[in-house]
Amino acid sequence: MKLTLFLDFDGVLHPENCVRDKGGVRIEGYPGRSLFDRLPLLVEALRPHPEIQIVLSTTWVKMVGFNKAKLRLGELSERVIGTTQQEDRLGRLQRGSQVEVFAKDNKLNWVALDDDDSGWREWDRLVLCPPDGLNQEKVAELVEKIERWEK
């Protein structure tokens, strides 16, 4: 069965402390860091796995819209098949529950990259990132989980 990656942005592809104002979205408290500065790590991790599809589980979908959020992923945007953020019934759930319900409803084999540890029951499918985002240790964990669940 094809594997799906549920992907959060804040705290995964860049530090968690993003602020949206008239000037757009910016990171606070992490000098020298920029939006999506960890995206290249994810691109490299997924390169050997072109069959993996992505579902956005980020609140960026609500802030900027699905298409704009998807385009932020650059070359990975073509893998995006949907989002958990456009279903009102899921919006009331904790992040882990959103992902698990969406995966069950759509019969998906999945792993997740997130910095939100709320509502997860299937911890063996989650790569929990630190507040400053994806790093080499978490990439190694993601690759291990992809290999475990990609069967």
Alpha carbons 93 and 97: distance in angstroms, whole number: 6
Per residue in 97-132, pLDDT (tens digit) is 999 999 999 999 999 999 999 999 999 999 999 999
Percent of the chain at pLDDT exceeding 70: 99
User: Which helix (H) or strand (E) segment is 69 a member of?
Assistant: helix 66-71
In this predicted structure, the answer to whether residue 93 has a pLDDT above a threshold of 90 is: no
pLDDT band of 88, cuts 50, 70, 90: confident
Task: Write the CA distances from 97 to 26, 29, 37, 119, integer angstroms.
Answer: 28, 29, 28, 5
Percent of the chain at pLDDT exceeding 90: 81
pLDDT band of 47, cuts 50, 70, 90: very high
pTM metric for this prediction: 0.94
Which amino acid, one-letter code, is at 97?
S
What does the DSSP 8-state code read for residue 14? Answer: B
Q: According to the model, what pLDDT value does residue 101 have?
A: 94
Q: According to the model, what pLDDT value does residue 24 have?
A: 78
Domains annotated on the chain, with CATH:
3-149 (3.40.50.1000)
